[in-house]
Amino acid sequence: MSKIHAAITAVNGYVPDYVLTNKELETMVDTNDEWITTRTGIKERRILKGEGLATSDLAAPAVKGLLKKRGISAEEIEVIVFCTSTPDMPFPATANILADKVGAINAWGYDLNAACSGFIFGLATGASFIESGRYKKVLVVGADKMSSIVNYEDRATCIIFGDGCGVVLLEPDTEGNGIIDSICKSDGSGREFLHQKAGGSLKPASHETVDNKEHFAYQEGKTVFKFAVTNMADVAAEVMERNNLTADDIQWLVPHQANKRIIDATIARTGVPPERVMVNIERYGNTTNGTIPLCLWEWESKLKKGDNLILAAFGGGFTWGSIYLKWAY
């Protein structure tokens, strides 16, 4: 029997309506459109507004749309890997909440937290369920309501992040398409440069942690940039080299959208020409776990069966990774 690969058989995305522009940020912090655009490539990002709305509310419409596109029912979903750094609550898992909201009554699932590399880690682990032969329909969700942990008084972070969700369905493929190879890496000593200080077991929430604004994302941007720029590019090159792929073999490079300058370094390292690189950072900013599946969603109509895609990300942890996949439809 030919090898089972986990193929993406459907993709969908959801971004909230509210558009937070660089112009509006100029009224909130000491910044300007020119600085944000030249340093990051971001022009605007989406924000989920409204009481009682959480990360699962970004994912639910994305999943419902995906099921409709694929023509399957929620009951057919077996596993949900929910990649997020902004779960609805510390527990239970957002995967469980999502399953309830979409009616995936036969699914079990869990949250996966690898910051901006979450979707790569989720796709790699979700693929293993399919490759084992035990499961046939696995959802991998990448979603974050970053606005819930962004300090809109901190100009160094509030300009970067946005809210959004992308989701893919993994199913078995025996034609040679699907996820062919993955590299996932982490180095926990990098945690000091990008993290949320309070709200975990190390520093539970208290009046003091709230007063000190320790429930927001903290980032030492320059250091993170330095690690991101080399590691994301290197890991993309590594997965290409070990599969004997050159830039000519790659139809699409799908980089995590953290900063246009980091994306450009990955373009330079891999040699994939810019017209074959998915970039939508100018419209969504860094949606953390959402960036890569949102790109796949927006470029879906251009993708052809058998296309070679390289996905790559770098994020808090530090975590980083890359996936080589062949598009299956």
Is 315 a binding residue for ligand UT7 by CB under 6 A? The answer is yes
What is the phi/psi pair of residue 206, to 5°?
Answer: -150, 170
Which of 147/259 has CB closer to ligand UT7? 259
Active site residue 243: no
- Report the C-alpha gap between 152 and 149 in whole angstroms: 9
Catalytic pick from 12, 22, 231, 286?
286
Q: At what angle do helices 55-70 and 94-102 cross, to 10 degrees?
A: 50
Kindly tell me which of 5 and 45 has the beta carbon lying closer to ligand UT7. 45
Q: Rounded to whole angstroms, how far apart are CA atoms 300 and 10?
A: 9
Q: List all residues 6 or more positions away from 9 whose beta carbon is below 8 Å from its beta carbon.
A: 70, 169, 170, 171, 173, 328, 329
Q: How far is the CB of 258 from ligand UT7 (least distance, A)?
A: 3
In terms of Cα–Cα distance, which of 83, 196, 193 is closest to 143? 83
Q: Is 155 in the site for ligand UT7 (CB under 6 A)?
A: yes
Chain residue at closest Cβ approach to ligand UT7: 221
Q: How far is the CB of 66 from ligand UT7 (least distance, A)?
A: 25
**Cβ proximity to ligand UT7, 35 vs 110, nearer residue:** 35
Number of residues in contact with ligand UT7 under rule CB under 6 A: 20
Site membership for ligand UT7, residue 221 (CB under 6 A): yes
Build a one-symbol-per-residue string for 262-301: x at contacts with ligand UT7 by CB under 6 A, - elsewhere: x-----------------------x---------------
Q: Which two tokens stand for residue 303?
A: 């993708």
Q: Does 31 bind ligand UT7 (CB under 6 A)?
A: yes
Distance CA 297, CA 295 (A): 5
Kindly name the residue from 165, 256, 289, 308 that is annotated as catalytic. Answer: 256
DSSP codes joined into one string, 99-163: HHHHT-TT-EEEEE--GGGHHHHHHHHHHHHHHTTS-S-EEEEEEEEGGGS--TT-HHHHTTB-E
CA pair distance 111, 319, nearest whole angstrom: 16
CB atoms within 10 A of CB 312: 31
The answer to the question of residue 195 lying near ligand UT7 (CB under 6 A) is no
286 has catalytic annotation: yes
Residues 97-136, one symbol each (x = binds ligand UT7 by CB under 6 A, - = not), give -------------------x--------------------
Provide the 3-class DSSP secondary structure of residue 27: coil
Out of 258, 292, 295, 309, point to the residue binding ligand UT7 (CB under 6 A).
258
Among 22, 96, 125, 259, binds ligand UT7 (CB under 6 A): 259
Confirm or reject binding of residue 55 to ligand UT7 (CB under 6 A). Answer: no
Q: How many CB atoms lie within 10 A of CB 237?
A: 18
Q: Is residue 225 part of the contact set for ligand UT7 (CB under 6 A)?
A: yes
Residue 43 CA to residue 40 CA, distance in Å, equals 9
Please give the residue ranges that form the binding site for ligand UT7 (CB under 6 A): 31, 35-36, 39-40, 116, 155-156, 159-160, 221-222, 224-225, 228, 258-259, 262, 286, 315
Report the catalytic residues: 116, 256, 286
